[in-house]
């Protein structure tokens, strides 16, 4: 078995989570997940969230935090909330389109994240960025991914989402090799490049292990040079009901020795 714990990105089961926080976390824990990552503006009080996590025996390994909530006017509130929950990783899952139109925009974003990382360090926290597919289309002579991570400090987590990267034409093996030590948390999202060639959504339908991702190479790089502390499963398609799908994904990973 791998020493890297496995968490679930709760966006995968967001409707279940909205209906019942405790019941959903307990179901996730019963599957065998070690932790969870929340996404979006908090829908429950911090104390309630922390109690539900503790009762389920799950660790909060990150929170996908909207860009607006890490701006100077909201940062103190965001820090306080995450401290109460017990989370130390503030991961931004995307940037508003009007702020990322040019290469210079991405350079400015990198500068913003460097400053944000310094601010969070004082609270024992870190920040990071999570990709979709747009980061792998060349802009101003290089991909936004390279512009951003080529200009951020090593303390800024490169949260590589494997499925999103492959859907945008990225190569996860190459990315992990090019940025050693940066992949603190990695989203394990299945993607089939053959099915996705004509329909991106179809590429996301298979569960982990039934797709074309070179998982063995990805895991080897994460565990040898990536500095990966958490694997985070994310599944967004409709092949199975959400809670069933994420159990299948975890079972597949356990079958791979993870």
Give domain limits for the chain. 6-255
Name residue, tokens 């490049």.
193
Contact 116, 97 (CB under 8 A): no
Of all residues in the chain, what percent carry a pLDDT higher than 70?
100
Q: Phi first, then psi: what are they for 156, rounded to 5°?
A: -85, 115
pLDDT at residue 186, as a whole number = 98
What tokens were used for 120? Answer: 């969070």
pLDDT in tens, 52-66: 999 999 999 999 999
Q: Which of 1-10, 24-33, 72-81, 204-213 is least confident?
A: 1-10
| Residue labelled with tokens 């980061």 | 135
Q: Which CATH architecture fits 6-255?
A: Alpha-Beta Barrel (3.20)
- The percentage of the chain sitting over the pLDDT mark of 90, rounded to a whole number, equals 99
Lookup: tokens for 53: 């996590």
pTM listed for this prediction: 0.98
Helix (H) or strand (E) holding 129: strand 126-130
Mean pLDDT of 45-49: 98
pLDDT for residue 184: 98
Residue 1 clears pLDDT 70, i.e. is over it? no
Q: What is the mean pLDDT of the chain?
A: 97
The three-point CA angle 40-35-78 to 5° equals: 35
pLDDT the model gives residue 2? 78
- Given a cut of 90, is residue 67 above it in pLDDT? yes
pLDDT of residue 78: 98
Span 173-193, average pLDDT: 98
pLDDT tens-place string over residues 93-107: 999 999 999 999 999
């Amino acid at each position: 078995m791998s020493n890297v714990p496995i968490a679930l990105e709760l966006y995968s089961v967001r409707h279940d989570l909205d209906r019942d926080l405790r019941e959903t976390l307990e179901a996730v824990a019963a599957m065998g997940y070690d932790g969870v990552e929340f996404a979006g503006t908090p829908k429950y009080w911090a104390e309630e969230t922390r109690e539900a996590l503790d009762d389920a025996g799950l660790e909060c390994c990150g929170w996908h935090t909207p860009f607006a909530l890490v701006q100077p006017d909201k940062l103190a509130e965001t820090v306080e909330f995450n401290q109460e929950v017990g989370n130390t990783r503030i991961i931004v899952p995307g940037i508003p389109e009007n702020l990322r139109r040019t290469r210079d925009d991405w350079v400015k974003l990198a500068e913003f994240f460097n400053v944000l990382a310094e601010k969070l360090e004082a609270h024992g926290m870190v920040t990071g960025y999570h990709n979709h597919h747009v980061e792998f289309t060349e802009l101003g002579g290089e991909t936004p991914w390279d512009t951003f991570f080529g200009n951020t400090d090593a303390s800024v987590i490169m949260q590589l989402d494997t499925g999103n990267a492959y859907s945008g034409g990225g190569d996860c093996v190459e990315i992990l090799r090019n940025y050693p030590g940066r992949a603190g948390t990695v989203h394990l999202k299945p993607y089939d490049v053959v099915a996705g060639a004509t329909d991106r959504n179809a590429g996301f339908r298979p569960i982990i292990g039934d797709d074309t991702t070179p998982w063995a190479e990805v895991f080897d790089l994460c565990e040898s040079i990536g500095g990966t502390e958490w694997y985070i499963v994310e599944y967004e398609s409709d092949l199975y009901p959400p809670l069933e799908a994420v159990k299948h994904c975890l079972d597949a990973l356990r079958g791979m020795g993870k």
